[in-house]
Amino acid sequence: MQTYLQFAVLGLGLGAIYIGLGTGLLLVHRATGIINFAQGAMAMWGAYVFAQLRLDGTLMLPIGSIDLGRRPTVAVAALIGLVTAVLLGLVAHYLVFRPVRNAPVLAQVVVSVALMITIQALVVLRFGPNNIKVDSILPEGSWSLAGIELSSREILMTLIMAALSAVVWAYMRFTRAGVATRAASENERAAVLMGFSPDRLAAVAQVIASVLGTVAVTLGSALTGLNPENYTLLVVPALAVLLVARMESIGIVVVAAIVLGAFQSIIGLLVTKPWWPVWAQSGFDQIIPFAVVMVILFVLGRRLPSRGSLQTVRLPDVVIPRLRLVPAVVLAVVGVAALALTSGSYRFGITTSIIVMLLALSYVVLTGYLGQISLAQGAFAGAAGFTLSKVTSNLGVPFPLSVILCGLVASALGMLVALPAFRIRGAQLAIVTIAAALAIERFVFNNYSLTPPEGNPIAAATLFGINLSVREGRDLSRLSFSLMVLVIAALLVWMFIRLASGDTGRAFLAVRANERAAASSGINVRMTKLIGFGISAFIAGIAGCLIGLSRGQLSAESFTVFAGLQVLAVAYLGGITSVGGAMVAGVLGPLGIVYVLLRGVFDLGAYYPLISGLGLILTAILNPVGVAGATREQVAWVRRRLSRGGTAEPPPVADATPKPKEPSHV
Amino acid sequence: MSDPAGRGLETRSLTVRYGGLVANSEVSISVRPGQVVGLIGPNGAGKTTFVDAVTGFTRCEGEILLDGVRIDALAPHLRRGSGLSRTWQSGELFGNLSVAENLLAAARKSGWATVVRDLFGRRRAGAGRDVVDSALAVVGLEDVADTLARDLTLGQQKLVGVARALAGGCEVLLLDEPAAGLDSMESQAFAARVRSIAEGNGSGQGPGILLIDHDMSLVLGVCDVVNVLEFGKLIFSGTPAEARTDPTVVAAYLGAPVEASHA
């Protein structure tokens, strides 16, 4: 019993961070209606600045740094860290969230995910990818309670964070600005009538949230050290806490955060017990936030309060694709030529681009056509990849069958994750899927008893005696492998176009446009979503198998949550509603050909994640139709001009279809 | 008209509660094939709630029968599949699809079997186009088939909504304020269309129609039977002629007896 209590208290360190992030999320949601997936990443920056100042007296800026000569005192360093947090909150509001305040939910989710990727990438660039030590502001020590020694630092942290949350609660409750913020979350006009600008209130909320998170992470990271990936993803348990509090009650945020932190810590103790099953030892604590999210959103089916503002939930238009012979042949020839004329890392880059194109295509199916958000596509790909390792090396299933089988496994997983989509949509679905992705990554991919750390070899493919392995001798990128990838990709694109131009695609678009109307037109909305998730995960799964085959073996690093989010970034960047967009995404995608060129020619490979994050922010704000959509508009415009023989007459009214750019309301 | 008793739509003591509020209380009405039945009542009387409950978009108590078979446990899309069709007050078209695609979405089946057929089946150019054309002909909008739904005028959108509800056939059609926003000319033309839909466009018997509207001259002029709701309760059910003179109806809704010349 004594040990349990001690572990529970140790978990308060985590709980304190959840309080800071959860309160910030709540405040920002109330003020702007946006769920800020970047809350963890934003909080991390100020803590890093503090830690670096204390390490060697360097004030690290996003670009460049200032050497202060000597290490500042803890108080000065902490103050500088907080000032950074204030500035970051302002930047986030005015440059990132304000432009999308009336945009569709999808654009808002994408923008905040983009900010999260960007800050995380910037932290890796500026402070390095490894864990760094953080000076403790609070003294170490212990208090004894009924003869049990309890660590005092964690308790102090929690008290400080609870007190700060109480201040935020008082602000919301007793100040006119706070009351106006609460009013704005129901109806923005109410805030205007009270004499407040909702925009100003939102900026204040972003700043408070940023500061609160930074304090929490600065205090809490003294226990564990800072690490870019873990702290960015702490937003997931914080989101679970937010849901428990129904996005309304700061008091419940505090209690839920403490309970979750303590509970995760106790789980950490329980998994070391001899009776605990070995296969469930690693990553089990990460199941809990996911379970909480699922229970609240799906099992209890609670509708969360949504915001009464004028939102046009409109996605970029879809042009229904047609199979046309000439473009198909041209693309095939270009693909084969590009692969045949290159070699080594360039050919490998092009091959990876084709695979990333497939991952992006899985987003086109799910998000572009069906209008559903999923942040778990990377996990679907990974599940298929690891299954491929098992079925090829343990069961010896032959090549084309093995890949199809694993695609179907991913498909089944996708449909499982689709279940919450029966009840929820938009940002809430994004929360469920990112929690699922994190749970799968930590509990399955990082679980040594399921995926051994010595590697998950994948047997090379052969078909009719042809060796399709990726490398042989000194050739690290064989042409036959690349051509196989091209053929599989072509098959999947063909399948996609068949579906998208058929009754299935139309049903998807109907569900995307209006679920009620779809149901009243006889469309089974749930089944349609299930099919969409199934097809999308199947495509992602095949892509995951190809990633596996191209590596020869897999590790958890192949399919991190961030890798999945980066693909979302490029998919959105390319254009989330078309095959053309997926192709652009493939070219731009992580480890694809542009990446290889950046690395090889310009030596900028390390900047790739940052560039993709920034690119996504800009796309989501300025050009939601993506590169492909914008190109299509321009081509259509040029065609119209040409067909009119260069006369400058204004286009007839019927021609003036609304530009898909409209929905962003920039 | 053959004897349609037992066929068409029938509700028995349909009750809808929102928390403590009773939005529909024991509403029992029937709509027989070929019949045009009106449902009128002041704002907030529970007319749209009734349509939502019958079509499965709101939880309710009581029985709903279509052709004598209970459908109150079915999901909305299955009710549509068994022949109960509806339109929405605000149109609710698929704005990003063309008018023809809107109708095809309702007329064509979707599901796993469709996925397989889409992938491997032979595809005929213009499949289902005849269904689209005939449904659009009913509302007289053949020429907008390839226009994006959101580019239509409000009046056109409502008519396309009717066409979409008809596409693929139905037994009973519930029209939720289809004429709101139409001018009196359009409204009269619409009345004629409603009548001709119920009469099967000259091909024998059409579907039963439940018409909800504020336009009294439209409802009283076109309906065979009129039902009046007030505070969720059915206070009158009878012919338009009876409705015009019924004291409870006049007091609740009409204000003054409606002159016969209006009809």
Q: How far apart are CA A215 and CA A280, in angstroms?
A: 33
C-alpha angle A298-A556-A574 in degrees, rounded to nearest 5: 70
Please report the pLDDT score of residue B202 as a whole number: 65
Alpha-carbon gap: B127 to the closest alpha carbon of chain A (Å): 10
* CA distance to partner chain B, nearest, from residue A507 (Å): 6
Q: What is the pLDDT of residue A309?
A: 38
CB contact under 8 A, A504 and B86: no
pLDDT greater at residue A189 or residue A243: A243
Stretch A65-77: mean pLDDT: 86
Q: Which two tokens stand for residue A18?
A: 């959840």
Task: Supply angle C-alpha A508, A495, A489, rounded to 5.
Answer: 120
Query: Which residue in B178, B189, B132 sits closest to B155, CA to CA?
Result: B178
Residues of B in contact with A535 (CB under 8 A): 115
For B192-221, the pLDDT digits (tens) are: 889 888 888 766 678 999 999 877 788 888
- Domain boundary assignment for chain A: 2-270, 325-617, 630-664
Contact (CB, 8 A) for A86 and A213: no
pLDDT at position A666 is 31
Query: Distance of CA B147 to CAs A320, A655, B99, B128, B160, Å?
Result: 14, 11, 6, 17, 11
Q: What is the pLDDT of residue B2?
A: 43
Beta-carbon contacts of A420 under 8 Å, excluding residues fewer than 6 positions away, are A294, A297, A298, A429, A432
Cβ separation A513–B94 shorter than 8 A: yes
Distance CA A400, CA A466 (A): 13
Q: Nearest-CA residue of chain B relative to A657?
A: B151
B177: left (phi over 0), alpha (psi -120 to 50) or beta: left
pLDDT above 90 covers what percent of chain A? 26
Average pLDDT value for residue range A562-578: 83
Phi, psi for A446 (deg, rounded to 5):
-95, 5
Backbone angles phi and psi of A475, in degrees to 5: -80, 110
**Nearest-angstrom CA–CA distance, A544 and A558:** 9
Task: Please give the pLDDT value at position A662.
Answer: 35
Give the angle subtended at the CA of A249 by the CAs of A243 and A252, to the nearest 5°. 75
Q: How many pairs of residues across A and B have Cβ atoms under 8 Å apart?
A: 114
pLDDT at res. B263: 37
Coil, helix or strand for A508? Answer: helix
Task: State the residue for tokens 């260069």.
Answer: A646
- Confidence band (pLDDT; 50, 70, 90) for A361? very high
Give A264→chain B minimum CA distance, Å. Answer: 38
Angstrom distance (rounded) from CA A619 to CA A598: 20
**If you write DSSP's letter for every residue of A540-605 in order, what string do you get?**
HHHHHHHHHHHHSEE-GGGG-HHHHHHHHHHHHHH-TTSHHHHHHHHHHSTTSHHHHHHHHTSS-G
The pLDDT tens digits for A300-320 are 655 555 544 334 445 667 777
Cα first-last separation, chain A: 58
Which domains occur in chain B, in start order?
Answer: 1-83+170-263 (3.40.50.300), 96-168 (no CATH)
Contact in structure between B187 and B215 (CB atoms under 8 Å)? yes
Nearest CA to CA, how far is B119 from chain A (Å)? 6
How does residue A393 score in pLDDT terms, banded at 50, 70 and 90? confident
Q: Is A519 on the interface with B (CB under 8 A)?
A: yes
Distance CA A611, CA A232 (A): 18
Q: Does any CB of chain B come closer than 8 Å to the CB of residue A312?
A: no
The DSSP letter of residue A607 is G
- Please compute the mean of the pLDDT values over residues A545-570 and round it to a whole number: 82
Between the CA of residue A375 and those of A318, A431, A548, B19, B161, what are the distances in Å?
21, 8, 20, 36, 35
Rounded CA separation A216/A229 (Å): 17
Contact A483, A357 (CB under 8 A): no
Kindly state the percentage of chain A with pLDDT values over 70: 91
Cα–Cα distance measured from residue A536 to residue A548, given in angstroms and rounded to the nearest whole number = 18
CA distance A104 to chain B (A): 15
3-state secondary structure A1-42: CHHHHHHHHHHHHHHHHHHHHHHHHHHHHHHHCCCCCCHHHH
pLDDT computed for residue B250 by the predictor: 80
Q: Tell me the three-class secondary structure of chain B, residue by residue.
A: CCCCCCCCEEEEEEEEEECCEEEEEEECCEECCCCEEEEECCCCCCHHHHHHHHHCCCCCEEEEEECCEECCCCCHHHHHHCCEEECCCCCCCCCCCEHHHHHHHHHCCCCHHHHHHHHHCCCCCCCCHHHHHHHHHHHCCHHHCCCEHHHCCHHHHHHHHHHHHHCCCCCEEEEECCCCCCCHHHHHHHHHHHHHHHCHHHCCCCCEEEEECCCHHHHHHHCCEEEEEECCEEEEEECHHHHHHCHHHHHHHHCCCCCHHHC
CA B40/CA B34 separation, integer angstroms:
19
Report the pLDDT value the prediction gives residue A1, as an integer from 0 to 100. 73
| ipTM of predicted assembly, 2 dp | 0.90
Pinpoint the alpha helices (H) of A92-234. Answer: 105-127, 152-174, 176-186, 188-193, 198-224, 228-233
Q: Measured between beta carbons, which residues in chain B are less than 8 angstroms from residue A523?
A: 77, 105-106, 110
Interval A308-356: pLDDT, tens: 433 444 566 777 777 778 888 888 888 888 887 887 888 888 899 999 9
For the record, the structure tokens of A609 come out as: 């994640």
A584-593, A644-653, B41-50: which range is least confident on average? A644-653
Q: Do A524 and B77 touch (CB under 8 A)?
A: yes
pLDDT confidence tier of residue A207, bands split at 50, 70 and 90: very high
Q: What is the pTM of this model?
A: 0.86
CATH code, residues A325-617: 1.10.3470
**Confidence label for A440 from pLDDT (cuts 50, 70 and 90):** confident
User: Which token pair is B175?
Assistant: 């029209």
Contact B111 A531 (CB under 8 A): yes
Report the alpha-carbon distance of residue A206 to residue A181 in Å, rounded: 12
**Dihedral sign, Cα of residue A300, residue A362, residue A582, residue A40:** positive
Angle at A37 between CA A241 and CA A165, to 5 degrees: 45
3-state SS class at A66: strand
Lowest mean pLDDT: which of A5-14, A44-53, A187-196, A326-335? A187-196
DSSP letters for A463-478:
ETTEE--S-BTTBSS-
The segments of chain B whose pLDDT lies below 50 read: 1-4, 260-263
Tokens 């690349």 locate to: A482
Position A193, amino acid: L
Q: Tell me if A523 and B81 make a contact (CB, 8 A cut-off).
A: no
Of the CA atoms within 13 Å of residue A481, those in its CB half-sphere come to 27
The residues in A 315-374 lying below 8 A from B, measured between CB atoms, are 315, 317-318
β partners of residue B229: B234
Residue A248: name the closest of A26, A541, A444, A52 by CA. Answer: A26
**Nearest Cα to Cα of residue A121 among A12, A22, A38:** A38
Q: Higher model confidence: residue A515 or residue A302? A: A515
Please give the average per-residue pLDDT across A79-102, as a whole number.
91
Q: Is the pLDDT of residue A562 over 90?
A: no
Contact partners, residue B26, CB within 8 Å, separation at least 6: B13, B14, B15, B62, B233, B234
Type and span of the H or E element at A143: strand A142-145
Q: What is the pLDDT of residue A649?
A: 43
pLDDT tens-digit readout, A130-185: 888 888 888 888 888 777 788 888 899 999 999 999 999 999 888 888 888 887 77
Whole-Å CA distances, B246 to A649, B31, B213, B251, B254: 63, 21, 19, 9, 10
Considering only CB atoms, A514 lies closest to which of B75, B94, B119, namely B94
Residue A617 has phi, psi (to 5 degrees) of: -60, -50
pLDDT band with cut points at 50, 70 and 90 for residue A28 = very high
pLDDT at A299: 66
Average pLDDT over residues A448-452: 71
Q: Which amino acid is at A578?
A: S
Q: Select the residue of A498, A523, A524 nearest B105 (Cβ to Cβ).
A: A523
Residues of A in contact with B111 (CB under 8 A): 524, 527, 531
pLDDT tier at A625, thresholds 50, 70, 90: low
Instruction: Kindly indicate the confidence band of residue A539, based on its pLDDT and cuts at 50, 70 and 90.
Output: very high
Contacts of A531 in chain B (CB under 8 A): 111-112, 115
Give the model confidence (pLDDT) of A36-58 as tens digits: 999 999 999 999 999 999 888 88
